[in-house]
Amino acid sequence: TGIMIIDVETHTIVDVNPIAAEIICASKEDIVGKTCHKFMCQAEKGKCPVTDLGQSIDNSECILVTTEGEEVPIIKTVIPTLLNGRMHIVDSFIDISDRKQAEQALQESEEKLRQLFNSVADMIVLIDTLGNILNVNDSVKTIFGLRADEVIGRNFAELGVINPDDLPEVAKLLADSVASKKTIQTVFEIRGIHKDGHEIPIEVVSSSTVGLENDEGKLKGMLATIR
């Protein structure tokens, strides 16, 4: 943890520990005596969040600027303290660059998966054991004329996209999958109904697969591909 001690009245840095100096990329001698605004925040004079505006900073994300001009994301906590009869603040912080990079990589990976999910021509739908739709790709628009946001969160039986005469068969297959403790893959044909009302023959490949169970090993959802 980097630690920096700052004089409240002058905003002058009076001490830093070796870790703080390493993060800032400067020696202690090059840091002490400088104003905290040079490194810890870019607030205008008289608008320091802590000393001027009275804000509390506890495990808050901020940006530290190194002597090389690099912006380093940090989490810091500021604690007021009295030293030699003068008010100071103890600014403790940690570098979270690695965490931020990992978060960015995860976001990029999730975006690639989302694009891949939506690029599949077949409609892919994830439903829970009650038949509520948890997720669906963009092909629902091509097949049924519905947007994903019109479908997600609703029960498949109330959408009007399945011929009423075929609903009992679909409900039974869902119930059988829920009751089974084994992976079941079923292929069947039913009559779908487009948003504009015309009937369309569709093939459904449903699967209760590993990875869709809860902690007790019970099925919590199933995956279906519709074409």
Q: Model confidence over 147-170: pLDDT tens digits?
A: 999 999 999 989 999 999 999 988
Q: Are residues 154 and 69 in the same domain?
A: no
pLDDT score for 171: 85
Instruction: State yes or no: pLDDT of 211 exceeds 60.
Output: no
pLDDT tens for each residue of 115-144: 888 888 899 998 888 889 999 999 999 999
| Domain termination site, one of 37, 66, 97 | 97
| 2-25 average pLDDT score | 91
Mean pLDDT, the chain, whole residue set: 84
b vs e for 159-172, b when ≥16 Cβ sit within 10 Å of the residue's Cβ?
Answer: bebbeeebeeebee
Closest by CA position to 169, among listed 192, 151, 153:
192
Give 3-state DSSP helix, strand, coil % of the chain, rounded to 5: 30, 35, 35
The CATH number of the domain holding residue 75 is 3.30.450.20
Same structural domain, 93 and 123: no
Residues 18 and 58 in one domain: yes
192-209 pLDDT, tens digit each: 999 999 999 999 888 765
- 132 and 82 fall within a common domain: no
Domain count, the chain: 2
Is 111 inside any structural domain? no
**Alpha carbon separation from 89 to 13, 26, 64, 190 (Å, rounded):** 10, 21, 16, 70
Mean pLDDT calculated for residue range 173-190: 75
Across 30-39, 85-94, 149-158, 214-223, least confident range: 214-223
Judged against a pLDDT cut of 80, whether residue 112 lies above it is answered with yes
Query: Do 182 and 144 belong together in one domain?
Result: yes
Residues 138 and 222 in one domain: yes
Q: Is the alpha carbon torsion for 29, 34, 38, 41 positive or negative?
A: positive
Contacts of 114-117 with C-beta under 8 Å, sequence gap 24+, read: none
pTM value is 0.59
Q: Specify whether 160 is located in the same domain as 212.
A: yes
Q: What residues make up the domain containing 160?
A: 118-226
Opening angle at CA 184, ends 181 and 190, nearest 5: 135
Count of CB atoms situated within 10 Å of the CB of 212: 18
Of the residues 65, 97, 129, the one at which a domain ends: 97
For residue 16, tell me if it sits in a domain.
yes
Q: Confirm whether 108 is domain-assigned.
A: no
pLDDT score for 79? 85
Using the predicted structure, report yes or no on whether residue 210 has a pLDDT greater than 50.
no
pLDDT at 57: 64
Residues 57 and 127 in one domain: no
Is it the case that residue 67 has pLDDT exceeding 70? yes
> Are 155 and 69 in the same domain?
no
